[in-house]
Structure 1
């Protein structure tokens, strides 16, 4: 008896929660609709030329940070965060293919800029607010490591050889504009 009442209540809830809409017969309404692309390809920017969708982004006031002496930043290289200050050595655990020794790199992906007293955090801070430059000091490899890989109850031993890359950078400039 209780099972029947519960299932009847579920059926009534399902029937009342449905929303029925009539099909669109006037297709001229669809012609005025605009659609925006939500995903962008690598290194591609999308500009919107419609007048009603202009959003003015105000830049924050960073005068307290500009007056501080020692700044730090959290830069992201291949979405890995590194906390750096001016003069630091950064050891990247991979090979930057297009960077040669002596090249100057500009960092555009920064999550945090701060000092001892003030911090400014954002998902990605506008690159027009700061300059962070680094010089590639060296590109090396770690010594070869041989790791023995075995499976249970089997005599075969496989040797995995790894010689990982390292790219070493020196932060030469970190300042706010």
Structure 2
């Protein structure tokens, strides 16, 4: 049996040693955490001093020495090209300008046609029977044309050229094509004025022996144009463009005189 004094001394020793034994894992963790931070802080200056000055690790020298990559979509494009792009007219962008026709061979004109063209070109005003989507339109300068449909990809102010015509003429002379007149012999230019829409139409559709009635609504739109110029080229203009005078053939176009 232990005495009370021995028990008191034993319990006092336990009380003194218990906090140190309980707090030991926390102190070890704190020490491990601090040692990890100390190791990283000590390794950083050593790594920076160990590297040579010839190969710096900063991002600035790499950005200066690197070559910028060119985008594939803008390859060969520069700001000077946009400034040097020729503008035919200031009020119309370059992509809206009428494109000149391209042909592989010059136009061949018979001798009789060259002799009759001055009579047709000198008598104004001219008319043209232009075809658009297989529909003939009799046009003269100053006419307003209402197409029976809405022309796609066309905006107000665009200038269009009708290059397919079955006949070109004046008051006393007519030049007919077989089936069409060569577009290098005449010019017909129109300007898009706007779009016109018809009143709303409502149609009721019913079926026999059914109580339900369907309504169909329609409101069509049409393109409005104004004819700016109808011109027949003179023999001098054709020769300047490189026309070749050939002998008469059976199918060569001729200018007919109206009786």
TM-score, normalised via structure 1 length: 0.63
Distance in 2 separating the partners of 1:153 and 1:109: 52
* Residue-by-residue CA offset, 1:114-150 (whole Å, 9 max, x unaligned): 1121111112111110111000001132221112233
Aligned-pair distance for 1:155? 4.3
Quick one: structure 1 residues 152 and 111, their matched pair in 2 at CA, closer, same or farther if it must change by over 3 Å? farther
What SS does structure 2 have at the residue aligned with 1:63? Answer: helix
What is the CA–CA distance in structure 2 between the aligned matches of 1:114 and 1:152, rounded to whole Å? 56
Determine whether 1:58 maps to 2:109. yes
Tell me whether 1:118 sits opposite 2:150 in the alignment. Answer: no
Matched, 1:107 2:162: yes
Residues 128 and 46 of structure 1: CA distance in aligned 2, closer, same or farther (over 3 Å):
closer
Matched residue SS, 1:58: strand
SS of residue in 1 equivalent to 2:109: coil
Q: Deviations over 1:12-61 (max 9, x none)?
A: xxxxxxxxxxxxxxxxxxxxxxxxxxxxxxxxx997xxxxxx9x843533
Which segments of 5 or more consecutive residues in structure 2 lack a partner in the other structure?
Answer: 1-101, 234-259
The equivalent of 1:68 in structure 2 is 123
Taking the TM superposition and a 5 Å limit, the aligned residue runs for 1:75-90 are 75-90=130-145
Q: Residues 139-154 of structure 1 correspond to what in structure 2 (within 5 A)?
A: 139-152=195-208, 154=210
Size of the alignment, in residue pairs? 126
1:91 aligns with 2:142: no
Larger Rg: 2
Match in the other structure for 2:216? 160
* TM-score with structure 2 setting the length: 0.44
Segments of structure 1 that go 5 or more residues without pairing to the other structure are: 1-44, 48-53
The reply on whether 1:129 has 2:180 as its aligned counterpart is no
Structure with bigger helix share is: 2
Distance 2:207 2:119 in 1: 59
In 1, the alpha carbon distance for the partners of 2:153 and 2:225 equals 14
